[in-house]
């Protein structure tokens, strides 16, 4: 069993890496779909502005992919170095999706390169659009396969341990574990939602800075519509996730909801503070937890009283759950109001204060993603493989994790600042107006 200092630093370093990586991974999954849809609409409507959206988004997407590769590699390295006992099991049972994730990424990267270097080389733009299909599929399947590994950690199956030896190993059964459907679906739609709100945030910010170009208005309306669709989808799948937790990880649901006593007709607790197991200042929705868990107002919901103290997750995950849900609801309302307001031509959606709300929507969506992942990972504590292997059994005994933590923190700081600087300079030097003027001049030259 690993010493406590090694376990602590291993947990901090893993959390830091995942926190940083999830930003670029989410963008890497969602943006290809946005690019493909924008270009498809541009071709269908013969609208140069949508074509330009696809072109500019693809250019910025390459930078985020590069950062995602570095941080993804760091995760693979850290799994082997920090959690060797876990990797002994994972290497024999769940290695298949890890391999398939690498293949999906290369599939995406190859076609992304071809797509970027063949702009304006197709007379029929529909053929160029076809190159985006494997890019979007590769990005999404990359997320699917790596999420399957995480789902396996929450609901391990496909093997038995007899006298310390793995027997009856079935990689396919391990992949299709009970957590897989809801977790994969939630990761995908939340990535699409977050990417849409990030792009909407950029468009609104450019409009606040004085640009009244049609490009930004169309980009804002397009991405806010997608944000509304995917925020609703995220909420629906989140409901299914709650029902999964009630059946397979009831201790996580109970900790997230501060549900201490098993009871029927359990209320849903939002916000509040906890003082000596007494909830204060909370909003209680009668029978809400029973409906969330079992779709029945009088259903019994298992409480924390049914679990040993050393198997109860940290109760602060309640705040993560609340923040995630609050942000999701807020973004759904914001995008709904914007879409309806645009349709009805309401003047307030053109105001500065409303645009600032949209600008804030992008960072809030990222925070929502972070809260969801933190709740998932912290909520599994003390298990790394739920019910089979504890975190302190899986961690390394190395005494140099604190040094690794400092080195990787420095790396992420450089990568984070560098990506922001590169992206801002890239688009500052190539404005929408300049690109449209250049393309018009190019077409005029070709016409002559």
Torsion of CA 417, 422, 428, 432, to 10 degrees: -120
pLDDT at 23 over 80: yes
pLDDT, residue 70, reads 87
pLDDT at 154 over 80: yes
More confident call, 434 vs 397: 397
pTM value is 0.93
The mean pLDDT value of the chain amounts to 90
CA dist 86 and 1 (Å) reads: 12
pLDDT at 435 over 80: no
Inter-residue contact 12 to 405 (CB < 8 Å) = yes
Q: Which are the contacts of 75, defined by CB distance < 8 A and separation ≥ 6?
A: 17, 18, 21
Angle formed by the axes of helices 401-429 and 4-45, to 10°?
20
pLDDT, residue 289, reads 94
pLDDT, residue 124, reads 81
């Amino acid at each position: 069993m690993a010493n406590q200092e090694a376990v602590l630093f291993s947990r901090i370093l893993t959390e830091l890496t995942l926190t940083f990586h999830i930003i670029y991974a989410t963008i890497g999954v969602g943006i290809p779909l946005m690019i493909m849809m924008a270009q498809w609409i541009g071709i269908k409507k013969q609208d140069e502005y949508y074509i330009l959206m696809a072109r500019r988004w693809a250019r910025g997407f390459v930078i985020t992919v590069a950062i995602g590769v570095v941080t993804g590699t760091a995760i693979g390295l850290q799994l082997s170095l920090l959690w060797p006992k876990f990797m002994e099991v994972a290497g024999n049972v769940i290695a298949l999706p890890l391999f398939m994730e690498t293949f999906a990424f290369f599939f995406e990267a190859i076609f992304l390169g071809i797509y970027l270097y063949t702009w304006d080389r197709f007379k029929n733009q529909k053929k160029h659009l076809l190159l985006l299909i494997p890019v979007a599929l590769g990005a999404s399947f990359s997320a699917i396969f790596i999420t399957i590994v995480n789902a396996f950690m929450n609901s391990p199956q496909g093997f038995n341990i007899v006298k310390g030896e793995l027997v009856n190993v079935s990689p396919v059964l391990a992949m299709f574990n009970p957590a897989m459907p809801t977790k994969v679906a939630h990761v995908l739609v939340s990535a699409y939602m977050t990417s849409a709100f990030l792009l909407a945030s950029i468009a609104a910010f450019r409009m606040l800075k004085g640009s009244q170009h049609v490009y930004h208005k169309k980009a804002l309306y397009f991405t806010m519509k997608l944000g509304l669709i995917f925020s609703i989808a995220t909420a629906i799948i989140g409901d299914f996730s709650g029902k999964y937790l009630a059946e397979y990880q009831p201790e996580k649901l109970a900790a997230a909801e501060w549900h201490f006593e098993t009871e029927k007709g359990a209320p849903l607790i939002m916000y509040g503070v906890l003082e000596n197991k007494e909830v204060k200042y909370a909003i209680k929705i009668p029978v809400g937890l029973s409906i969330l868990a079992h779709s029945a107002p009088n259903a019994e919901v298992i409480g924390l009283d049914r679990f040993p103290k050393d198997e109860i997750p940290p109760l602060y995950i309640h705040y993560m759950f609340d923040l995630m849900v609050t942000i999701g609801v807020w973004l759904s309302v914001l995008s709904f109001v914007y879409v309806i307001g645009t349709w009805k031509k309401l003047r307030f959606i053109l105001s500065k204060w409303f645009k600032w709300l949209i600008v804030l929507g992008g960072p809030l969506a990222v925070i929502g993603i972070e809260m969801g992942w933190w709740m998932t990972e912290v909520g599994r504590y003390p298990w790394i493989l739920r019910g089979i292997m504890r975190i302190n059994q899986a961690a390394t005994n190395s005494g140099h994790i604190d040094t690794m933590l400092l080195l990787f923190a420095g790396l992420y700081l450089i990568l984070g600042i560098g990506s922001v600087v590169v992206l801002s300079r890239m688009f500052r030097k190539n404005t929408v107006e300049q690109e449209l003027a250049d393309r018009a001049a190019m077409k005029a030259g070709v016409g002559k």
